[in-house]
Amino acid sequence: MAIVIKGGKRFNSTKGTFEQNKNIVIEGDKIVALDKELTTENQRTVDATGKTIIPGLMNLHGHFAWDGFSDLEKQTRYDGPMGYVKAARGLRAAVEAGVTTFRDLACVHDTGFFARQAVRDGLLPGPTVYVCGRAVCRTGGHIWWGNREADGSDEIRRAVREQARGGADWIKLMAHGYTQEEITAAVDQAHQEGRPITTDAGEWTAQAVKAGVDCIEHGGNYSDELIQEILDKKIWVVPTLSPVVLQARKGHEWGMKQSVIERRNKQLKESGRHEGLVRARKAGVKLTFGTDSGSPVVPHDAILPEMEALLEFGIFDSTEQVLQAATIRAAECLRIADKTGSLDIGKQADVVVLNGDLQTDLKIIEHVETVFVRGHWMVENGQSVLPDPRDFQTFANVGS
Ligand SMILES: [Zn+2]
């Protein structure tokens, strides 16, 4: 049966404009028609009058194993199987926030693989999940208690191959403390495995860029020369402003330690990172969208704060640019722009209906009413719906 979304406005992510929507027709997992004269009776209609239709949002940096409020190290060490329950909760929270694609970057205890499989199998409602497996870091390195530790080029290559064997879509490297040779080995091995590689690099960004990573997480205050190299190599940057902004401003409501709140406020005042991201964008560096959800004070349904922060700090100039970053740009970064990221005929039906006019009020992004993921009706009246158990693909493999 076809589904027809009638009326309202829709966001054209390719052009970055809002336009009137006569109708969008979904059949199976695809958008099959736009603004056509409807003749068939065999359809279900969604009335979007006074509402806004956008392509499904993409969160390219999150962690389903983490709940968005607890300490990361404690959860990782002591949660055990509770991590999988948290992932199930995260899937639901994300899709109810209009997220139809999610990149899980460093899934401790392999939670991301199970989250991806749960949605693929039709067990739970949730976004399409892309997974990096465990991040690779040096022994005792950044987030080592949740990562695959590896030292030396050979061991790093093995660690990368393990993630690929496990079914990782991406490789994530914590570049901190590695030598140029080690970073280059990780990038080379990821590409040999046919996987793009992203990195949390901090002060090692120049080495990561030199090695030819595909994406940089968080972003920073880079020199003009480094920005030029990022641009020349067409490397993506995912800003992830939410942890610092939300922990600084809302940490007290969430019971965070005062020392952490103070540190975050200090970071927030050091405007260098924001200025660096603004310079990068103005130079033409490709920025996309990720919230670092799962971090304390960043639950998986917190989308608006990241969008507002991107505008507040001038990293983008308009709502339209932010929406493009979170839809078509994200699809380009994931190399799936031929399949999704815009409301076009032939694209996967990843579609969100918001109750209100998003063009005049960005806060409407939180008024998610209806969500389709690959044509599956995942959210209705703001609530996620369990898939029909008859569609469940039992005994599917957790690998890719
Ligand atoms: Zn993260």
Q: Write the pLDDT tens digit of every residue in 73-128.
A: 999 999 989 999 999 999 999 999 999 999 999 878 899 999 999 999 999 999 99
Compute, in angstroms, the gap from residue 232 CA to the centroid of ligand 1. Answer: 26
Interatomic CA distance for residues 356 and 359, integer angstroms: 9
Could you tell me the distance, in angstroms and rounded to a whole number, from the CA of residue 103 to the centre of ligand 1?
10
Work out the pLDDT band at 399, boundaries 50, 70, 90. Answer: low
Residues 138-176 have pLDDT tens digits of 999 999 999 999 999 999 999 999 999 999 999 999 999
pLDDT of residue 395: 58
Residue 88 near residue 375, CB atoms below 8 Å: no
Q: What separation in Å is there between the alpha carbon of 105 and the centre of ligand 1? A: 6
Instruction: Quote the ligand 1 centre to 63 CA distance (angstroms).
Output: 7
Q: What is the pLDDT of residue 106?
A: 82
Q: What percent of the chain has pLDDT over 70?
A: 98
How far is ligand 1, taken at its centre, from the CA of residue 131, in Å? 13
- Look up residue 260 and give its two tokens: 């952490």
Contacts with 244 (C-beta within 8 Å, 6 or more apart), sequence order: 264, 267, 268
pLDDT digits (tens, 9 = 90+) for 170-222: 999 999 999 999 999 999 999 999 999 999 999 999 999 999 999 999 998 99
Angstrom distance (rounded) from CA 198 to CA 200: 7
Residue 397: what pLDDT?
A: 54
Q: What size, in residues, is the chain?
A: 400
| Lookup result for tokens 């590695």 | 178
The alpha carbon of 51 and the centre of ligand 1 are apart by a number of angstroms equal to: 33
Task: Give the least confident one: 36-45, 269-278, 367-376.
Answer: 36-45
Are residues 238 and 215 in contact, defined by beta-carbon separation less than 8 angstroms?
A: yes
How close is the Cα of 236 to the center of ligand 1, in Å?
A: 16
Q: Within 10 A of 116 (CB to CB), how many other CB atoms are there?
A: 26
Arithmetic mean of pLDDT, 244-271: 93
**How remote is the CA of residue 18 from the centroid of ligand 1, in Å?**
32
Distance CA 378, CA 380 (A): 7
373 Cα to the center of ligand 1, angstroms = 24
Ligand 1 midpoint to CA 295 (Å): 7
The residue-averaged pLDDT of 270-298 equals 95
Reported as a single tens digit per residue, the pLDDT across 13-56 is 999 999 999 999 999 999 999 998 877 677 899 999 999 999 99
Q: How far is the CA of 187 from the centre of ligand 1 (A)?
A: 19
Q: How far, in Å, is the centroid of ligand 1 from the Cα of 197?
A: 15
Q: What is the mean pLDDT of residues 266-278?
A: 91
* Encoded tokens for 229: 């190299």
Return the pLDDT at 37: 83
Domains and CATH numbers, the chain: 2-55+342-383 (2.30.40.10), 57-334 (3.20.20.140)
* Contacts (Cβ under 8 Å, ≥6 apart) of 61: 103, 105, 217, 238, 240, 290, 291, 292, 293
The percent helix, strand, coil of the chain (3-state, each to 5) is 40, 20, 40
Residue type, 112: G
Residue 98's φ and ψ, nearest 5 degrees, are 90, 10
